[in-house]
Amino acid sequence: MSETQAQRTEHAGTAKATPDWTVTAAADQTRESPEGTLVASEPRTRSLEDIEVGARIDDFDLVMSLGTGAFGKVFLARQRSMQRLVAVKISRDHGNEPQTLAKLDHDYIVRVYDQRILPEQQLRLLYMQYLPGGTLLRVLERARATPEQDRSGRLLLDVVDEVMQDKGELRPTDSSVRDEIAQLSWPETVAWLGRRLAEALDHADRHGVLHRDIKPANILLTAEGIPKLADFNISFAETVAGSSPLAYFGGSLAYMSPEQLAACHRDLPGTAADLDTRSDIFALGVMLWELACGRRPFDDGQISGSSLPTLKGMLDRRAHGVESTVANDLPADCPAALRRVLLTCLAPRPQDRWSSGRELAHQFDLCLDSRARDLVDPPEGSRRLRLRKWAALLIVLGIAVPNGLAAAYNYHHNKMLIISELSPQAGQSFEAIQLAINGIVFPLGTIVLVYLGRRPLFVPRGLRSGKVYDKTTLARARTDTLLLGDRVVIVVFALWVVAGITYPISLQLAAGDVPQRAYVHFVASLVVCGAVAVAYPFFIVAFLSVRYIYPVLIPQEIAGSDDARKLRGLDRRSIRYLAVAASVPLAGVAGVTFLSPDEITMVIVAVRILCVGGILAFVGVYWLFRELEQDLTALGHVVSHERNGQPPGAS
């Protein structure tokens, strides 16, 4: 949308275009609706004002009034020719709303059937899909009157049911959508509604349409509680002939973005041509914040006029975003992710907001996935948030502890079965060799691991300190994070192999006459210790990396990345490592079968500890595996813009 908007701005020129009304307190060519909607002034015809319920106009019998707005009246009507109920909007014959709506065919936008023109009365009849659930305005009014702790998805359904009952409509039964809503908390309900409206804005944006008047009264509800965007009277469609950004420009002041308010102010440089979908996203953010909290994020008081001082005051209040004290008004059970998403919608500068409705819809999907949102935006004060800063230390311990235990087992095994059978001089040589090898191998391994893990370890720390990284650096850091467990395994296992080969050769060169059976013991010990070094560190490192490091590295715009494939790859590899972890006790038992009865008595205690410890460790590893698997699935939805396996836009 930004490209097409830029083209419009270029064609509009640099001079400030002024609508056909002037925003001043005394201006006699503007008027304001009760909700603070600015519209171009045009005297209402008497014929429009006289139309009431019970009348017949053209092909329609007007059954019930559904509302009256700044541009006309809306009735529930029976269309005689088609024998169906429709919503008929009767307005003066101007504007491009029918042509605009004809371009839009979306699940979350009210579907328009056709229009009829009455030239003698200068009226237009726009008949469209009838939605019996009322508007979001009534839901907002109920939310304001309901204590915070009593709000939930049931509130939305109760309001819809009451509206339908007033109209004599029957509540739908066996509705999976209603069942889903009934299980949601109130903040989740707000995110659920927001996700669908963001999809609607994205669809409109991709067809070159700006709404420019997002507010609760313009959101209609189906019998299932599904929201649909309506009333495109002051929208702008760049591909509709005769349409321009300035035609019927206006909107509801309280929901306007700063740039839209500036375009209404004759002394400020902004114009209607400067607006893009991010302006609608701001208005959506105001409306959803109001729905979540019961009040708007900016204290504009009672908007009593459209004077320049009023506009200037509203601009000043929006200049620095939502105040921290106001941000604390969000419900106590509001997820941190939803708080972040709404605050981003309400950023003063368009470039700091979500760039598209699709991106915003994806963020709302994140808010609705409890596991994913707690990974990306841990609750304030939670253990998960506190552990993020300790992730590097925990990873070091996750590598060092299993390998330290494996080294202790290896030392005891070799000492009892090999060194005890050699001369004292050979024993001293072995101790010296072991000390020398460990003095080389451990520092070398540490250097290699720090180098391979430099991005996962240091980039998150830089982000916490306020440092900004480009997308390429973040992408590399995410890749390194997902591969960190594998790289640890490769390095550690390689060092064990080197040590397993070096120990007997060095011992043979130093002491000479090492029996062949000693080599069998070295290999058996290497197999067991290698399994410990491979399986346990992998799961500890992978779990910590995915839960505490990777989410920090996810940028707001990650569409089109290759991360989903890499997450699935890590999931597949973890299954193989789980099999290795299960083999540790079995490897210990298998190793005993190669020992003589006398040798078994020498290492039986160590083998028992290995087997029992291996079983207990496998229980822990299996828990890590399950947690890792679920985290990877949740993060897969985050980076692939899917929720529960459904593509964006699915109901």
Task: Please give the structure tokens belonging to residue 441.
Answer: 């191998």
The 10 Å CB-count burial string (b at 16+, else e) for 285-306 is bbbbbbbbbbeebbeeeebebb
Residue 335 is assigned to a structural domain of this protein: no
> Which residues contact residue 438 at a Cβ distance below 8 angstroms, ignoring those fewer than 6 apart?
407
- Cα separation, 589 vs 621, in Å, equals 20
Instruction: In whole angstroms, give the CA distance from residue 260 to residue 279.
Output: 7
pLDDT under 50: residue ranges of the chain? 1-35, 39-46, 234-250, 643-651
In a domain, 460, yes or no: yes
Q: What confidence score (pLDDT) does residue 600 get?
A: 66
Handedness of CA 606, 609, 610, 612 (dihedral sign): positive
Contact 81, 131 (CB under 8 A): no
Res 199: pLDDT: 96
19 burial (CB, 10 Å; 0-12 / 13-18 / 19+) is buried
pLDDT at 21: 30
Beta bridge partners of 87: 76, 128
Only one residue has tokens 């099999």, namely 579
Residue 271: partners with Cβ closer than 8 Å, 6 or more residues away: 9, 12, 16, 17, 245, 246, 263
**How many of the other CB atoms lie within 10 Å of CB of 414?**
20
Residue 648 lies in a domain: no
Quick check: is 189 in a domain?
no
Which burial class, exposed, middle or buried, applies to 576 when counting CB atoms under 10 A from its CB (0-12, 13-18, 19+)? Answer: exposed
| pLDDT attached to residue 418 | 67
Q: Indicate the length of the chain as a whole number.
A: 651
Distances in Å between the Cα of 60 and the Cα atoms of 66, 101, 364 are 15, 21, 40
Residue 230 lies in a domain: no
Distance CA 115, CA 57 (A): 13
Residue 79: helix, strand or coil by DSSP?
Answer: strand
Residue 68 sits at φ, ψ, to 5 deg, of: -130, 130
Distance in angstroms (rounded) separating the CA atoms of residues 427 and 418: 9
Q: Which residues contact 164 (CB under 8 A, 6 or more apart)?
A: 132, 133, 170, 171, 223
Q: Which is nearest to 500 in space by CA: 530, 533, 522? A: 522
Domain count, the chain: 1
CB 486 within 8 A of CB 546: no
Look at residue 598 in the predicted model and tell me its pLDDT: 67
DSSP state of 48: H
The pLDDT, as a whole number, for residue 431 is 74
Please write down the HEC assignment for all residues of 122-181. CEEEEEECCCCCCEHHHHHHHHHHCCHHHCEHHHHHHHHHHHHHHCCCCCCCCCHHHHHH
E-assigned strand segments in 160-247: 209-210, 219-221, 227-229, 236-237
* Among 647, 494, 503, 470, residue whose Cα is nearest residue 564: 647
CA atoms within 13 A on the CB side of 492: 28
CA-CA distances (angstroms) from residue 5 to 2, 214, 398, 569?
A: 5, 19, 52, 40
Helix (H) or strand (E) holding 599: helix 597-640
Sort strands 123-128 and 236-237 into parallel, antiparallel or unpaired.
unpaired
Alpha-carbon separation of residue 612 from 69, 352, 586, 589, 609 (angstroms): 75, 56, 11, 11, 5
User: What is the sign, positive or negative, of the torsion defined by CA atoms of 216, 222, 223, 226?
Assistant: negative
Residue 333 lies in a domain: no
User: Residue 648: which of 369, 358, 368 has the closest Cα?
Assistant: 358
Instruction: Copy the structure tokens of residue 99.
Output: 């042509």
d(CA 485, CA 512): 39
What is the Cα Rg of the chain in Å? 34
Helix (H) or strand (E) holding 360: helix 357-368
* Cα–Cα distance for residue pair 91/248, rounded to 1 Å: 14
How close are the terminal C-alpha atoms of the chain, in Å? 24
∠ CA 591-597-599, rounded to 5° = 65
431 located within any domain: yes
Nearest to 211 by CA among 230, 225, 196, 188: 230
Q: Which domain holds residue 405?
A: 387-640
Give the helix ranges, DSSP H, for 389-423.
391-417
Q: What is residue 411's three-state secondary structure? A: helix
Q: Given the structure tokens 């920090």, which residue do they identify?
A: 552
Could you read off the pLDDT of 36-51 as tens digits, one per residue? 555 444 444 446 778 8
Q: Is the residue at 336 inside a domain?
A: no
Rounded Cα–Cα distance for residues 328 and 331 (Å): 8
CA atoms within 13 A on the CB side of 151: 24
